[in-house]
Structure 1
């Protein structure tokens, strides 16, 4: 896995959802959060995400593109989106989509959910002639799962419980479990938010839809990722504001730079 692939995968799979819903006491509000991405301190990308809460419905739409040094290495751009219902304990996705391109290659994914179960999924390009080391996704592994966007929007009023969970992700290609454990608290400050952040150590466990011989995935599965969650728009929803992912060329960081509410 190259740093460019890791940027795409983690920024869309992990940091892209770093947007919290707005105050539910109003009919409709939009929270816009900006992000920057860097490798060993050098800027390589940027992202912007809008989250809308409208009654018992929610939606997230985001854009990602290369920037700074990343623009010199690769022309990368993508969009991601999810919509669904707001429940008492979580955000229940119904429709998830991802569309991104890097240089002359393009990937698309569409996934439908109902009650936490995948009901339909399509990806492009389709996998052809998998290697003998390829581990397919089993139908039984597509129950009680979440998409990569709403999956990291953690609905709880107890900051101490944020890291006490495993997040079962499915994006149309792969099933991955993100196992969270507590690593303390930090203070976080940016335009639009200043306050505590809950720090989680995260390890990745591949479940299905991956190549067991992948050096990049095997390397990442042995590393500890760190994600900071903060209630940037309402007290009972924690979302990522900072992530640090080890790579073979140095740490990839994803950091919220501003948040605004309309």
Structure 2
């Protein structure tokens, strides 16, 4: 999973996070969340996410584009979306999609899920039949119990101490990887409609398949620790990310909400 795709999906999930706190009390609402992305403190991107949620289903549609310094360095923009059902155990995606362009190159992913299993997957560009020997292909058996990068990060538990004691098996259409979470303490957070403690998770990336063993970017990420803060915003037993910090070779990339509008 490339860094750009990973950052995009984290931003989309944080948009869903803030939307849930607003939409949870009403039968059906549309919530727009505006986001800013910063690299070493400098604004490089912006994002907007529209979320619709009711008692049985949910959907999120997001848009992202480069901004500020990011517009001068790299032209990047795209969309990300997920839809599915609300179950007693949490949020079960039925369809996940990502479509973005960076420096003139376009990436598209359309993944359908059924009971935690990948039912169908279509990506562009497709992998070449003559891949490098260092490429690790995705095996069908590795897609039997996976989650998408958006709803997969919504953790349902009644025990705050267990939030960061788990491994999340993610699949985005290209790559299969595990996010290994471990406890990193707690922090107080203050957001629109919520003020309380967040569980701080230290996250390490463990690639499973769909990646190049010689990828310098991936090797860098494997040696770093991503920071995710989870808080029970929507309800006491559902923990979702409220903050993300991703290391890069030139400094930390952070995702921060700027406004939330309910329609």
- TM, length-normalised to structure 2: 0.91
- CA 223–188 in structure 1, closer or farther in 2 if over 3 Å, else same: same
Kindly indicate whether the alpha-carbon contact (under 8 Å) linking 1:93 and 1:113 is maintained by their aligned counterparts in 2.
yes
Deviation at 1:24, TM superposition (A): 4.5
Which ranges in structure 2 are unaligned for 5 or more consecutive residues? Answer: none
Q: Spell out, residue by residue over 1:27-63, the C-alpha distance to the aligned partner (whole angstroms, 9 max, x if none).
A: 2133433322111111111222233222211111111
Matched residue, 1:52: 52
Pick which of 59-68 and 9-18 moved more: 9-18
Q: Spell out, residue by residue over 1:108-139, the C-alpha distance to the aligned partner (whole angstroms, 9 max, x if none).
A: 00001000000100101111121110001111
Matched residue, 1:255: 256
Matched residue, 1:14: 10
- CA 215–103 in structure 1, closer or farther in 2 if over 3 Å, else same: closer
Matched residue, 1:224: 225
Deviation at 1:261, TM superposition (A): 4.3
Counterpart of 1:231 in 2: which secondary structure? strand
- CA 15–54 in structure 1, closer or farther in 2 if over 3 Å, else same: same
Kindly indicate whether the alpha-carbon contact (under 8 Å) linking 1:192 and 1:260 is maintained by their aligned counterparts in 2.
no
Kindly indicate whether the alpha-carbon contact (under 8 Å) linking 1:31 and 1:233 is maintained by their aligned counterparts in 2.
no
Q: How many residues align?
A: 258
- CA 53–186 in structure 1, closer or farther in 2 if over 3 Å, else same: same
Kindly indicate whether the alpha-carbon contact (under 8 Å) linking 1:192 and 1:258 is maintained by their aligned counterparts in 2.
no
Deviation at 1:203, TM superposition (A): 0.3
Kindly indicate whether the alpha-carbon contact (under 8 Å) linking 1:191 and 1:257 is maintained by their aligned counterparts in 2.
no
Which ranges in structure 1 are unaligned for 5 or more consecutive residues? Answer: none
Pick which of 183-192 and 83-92 moved more: 183-192
Q: Spell out, residue by residue over 1:63-112, the C-alpha distance to the aligned partner (whole angstroms, 9 max, x if none).
A: 11111110111111111111111111121111111100113111100001
Pick which of 159-168 and 104-113 moved more: 159-168
Question: What CA distance in whole angstroms lies between the structure 1 residues aligned with 2:213 and 2:165?
Answer: 28
Matched residue, 1:68: 68
Matched residue, 2:176: 175
Question: What CA distance in whole angstroms lies between the structure 2 residues aligned with 1:204 and 1:260?
Answer: 33
- CA 236–196 in structure 1, closer or farther in 2 if over 3 Å, else same: same
Pick which of 29-38 and 219-228 moved more: 29-38
Deviation at 1:188, TM superposition (A): 1.6
Pick which of 8-17 and 168-177 moved more: 8-17
Kindly indicate whether the alpha-carbon contact (under 8 Å) linking 2:33 and 2:49 is maintained by their aligned counterparts in 1.
yes
CA RMSD of aligned residues (A): 1.9
Matched residue, 1:185: 186
